[in-house]
């Protein structure tokens, strides 16, 4: 039979759970009463505890099931309460994930870049674009999939210049992946293509010239997949994403 966890682990679980419950209560009470000063202190305490536990989550801890369970449960709860959806927390969490890529699955769900302002959103997107050139495609996918570009464009309403910067970043990412994306980069390529399409169609035809120019430039250097042309022509013709792909010959004819 399996051995029960050491008493110190059990006590630690009870204490941590009680502490998080108290923080959650204080958070709710002070949000309701709009007590800003106390709310700020509670928020800081929750964030500090979150990163304190993340620091403790090392290889030794992950090999001990009770400790692993305690840390993942506490990190999950604190992340939901104090990290997710908080404008100021995105950049720090992203840095932590890049420093501890093995915790991408644990920390990734709390990464909400759309909660921040446009400048922070673009800075974090730039970081993930740079990451996409490396070998850790799985981590890059976890992070990239958290960028809700549709919500950012429609509800955050970035300025024209900020949308242009975003188009440049997506274009750079697509060119980095290249003419014939490697198998492990295909899912990233698809996400970047979808972001490109969303930027093109937002306030259309505001960015049509920029997108077309970026596609032509990428194609001139043979750095851009033909799928990007298919997306462009499909978007302009109102084709749904699930429609049958346009044949390469047809793409070339329409481009001409």
Give yes or no: residues 101 and 58 share one domain.
no
104 and 16 both lie in a single domain: no
Q: Could you tell me if 105 and 60 lie in one domain?
A: no
Q: Check residue 255 and give its pLDDT.
A: 43
Specify the length of the chain in residues. 256
Q: Of 83, 115, 136, which marks where a domain is finished?
A: 83
Same-domain status, 207 and 229 = yes
Please name the residues in contact with 113: beta carbons below 8 A apart, sequence gap of 6 or more: 90, 94, 120, 121, 124, 125, 146, 147, 148
Q: What does each of the 256 residues of the chain score in pLDDT, given as a tens digit?
A: 355 556 776 677 788 888 999 999 999 988 888 778 889 999 999 999 999 999 989 888 888 888 888 899 999 999 999 999 998 999 999 999 999 999 999 999 999 999 989 999 999 999 999 999 999 999 999 999 999 999 999 999 999 999 999 999 999 999 999 999 999 999 999 999 999 999 999 999 999 999 999 999 999 999 999 999 999 999 888 754 544 444 445 444 544 4
| Together in a domain, 254 and 128 | yes
Query: Does residue 179 belong to any structural domain of this protein?
Result: yes
Retrieve residue 131's tokens: 């990451």
Using CA atoms, how far apart are residues 197 and 226, in angstroms rounded to an integer?
Answer: 14
Same domain, 160 and 229: yes
The verdict on 146 and 217 lying in the same domain is yes
Which residues make Cβ contacts (< 8 Å) with residue 19, sequence separation at least 6?
A: 49
Is residue 88 in a domain? no
Domain, as residue range, for 254: 93-256
The closest of 181, 192, 199, 187 to 235, measured between CA atoms, is: 199
Given this model, what pLDDT does residue 252 score? 47
* Nearest CA-CA partner of 42 in 72, 70, 21: 21
pLDDT of residue 64: 82
Q: Which of 141, 147, 140 is nearest to 114 (CA)?
A: 147
- How many whole angstroms separate alpha carbon 174 and alpha carbon 192? 7
Domain closes at, from 83, 104, 126: 83
Q: Indicate if 79 and 97 belong to the same structural domain.
A: no
Contact assessment for residue 189 and residue 225, using Cβ atoms and an 8 Å cutoff:
yes
> For the chain, how many structural domains are there in total?
2
- C-alpha distances (whole Å) from 179 to each of 5, 68, 91, 176, 225 are 54, 43, 31, 9, 4
Q: Looking at the structure, do residues 137 and 207 belong to the same domain, yes or no?
A: yes
pLDDT value, residue 123: 97
In this prediction, residue 63 carries a pLDDT of 87
* Measured distance CA(157)–CA(187) in Å, rounded: 27
pLDDT of residue 243: 46
Per-residue 3-state assignment (H helix, E strand, C coil) for 196-223: HHHHHHCCCCCCHHHHHHHHHHHHHCCC
In this structure, the answer to whether residues 117 and 244 fall within a common structural domain is yes
The answer as to whether 197 is a domain residue is yes
Encoded tokens for 129: 């674009």
Residue 123 and residue 14 in one domain: no
* Nearest residue to 228 (alpha-carbon basis) of 188, 256, 190: 190
71, 90, 188, 238 from 234: Cα distances, Å: 47, 34, 20, 6
- Are 162 and 230 members of one domain? yes
């Amino acid at each position: 039979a399996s051995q029960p966890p050491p008493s110190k682990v059990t006590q630690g679980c009870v204490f941590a759970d009680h502490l998080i419950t108290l923080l959650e209560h204080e958070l709710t009470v002070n949000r309701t009463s709009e007590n800003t000063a106390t709310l700020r202190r509670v928020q800081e305490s929750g964030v500090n505890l979150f990163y304190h536990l993340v620091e403790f989550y090392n290889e030794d801890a992950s090999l001990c099931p009770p400790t692993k369970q305690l840390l993942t449960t506490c990190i999950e709860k604190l992340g939901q309460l104090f990290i997710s959806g908080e404008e100021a927390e995105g950049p720090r969490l992203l840095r932590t994930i890049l420093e501890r890529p093995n915790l991408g699955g644990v920390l990734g769900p709390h990464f909400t870049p759309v909660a921040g302002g446009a400048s922070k959103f673009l800075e974090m997107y730039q970081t993930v674009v740079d990451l996409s050139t490396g070998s850790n495609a799985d981590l890059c996918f976890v992070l990239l999939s958290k960028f809700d570009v549709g919500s950012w464009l429609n509800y955050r309403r970035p300025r024209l210049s900020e949308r242009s910067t975003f188009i440049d970043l997506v274009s750079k990412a697509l060119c980095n992946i290249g003419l014939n994306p490697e198998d492990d980069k295909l899912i990233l390529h698809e996400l970047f293509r979808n972001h490109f399409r969303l930027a093109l169609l937002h306030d259309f035809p505001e960015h049509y010239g920029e997108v077309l120019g970026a596609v032509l430039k990428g194609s001139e250097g043979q750095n851009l997949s033909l799928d990007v042309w298919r997306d462009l022509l499909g978007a302009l013709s109102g084709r749904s994403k699930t429609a049958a792909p346009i044949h390469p010959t047809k793409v070339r004819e329409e481009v001409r």
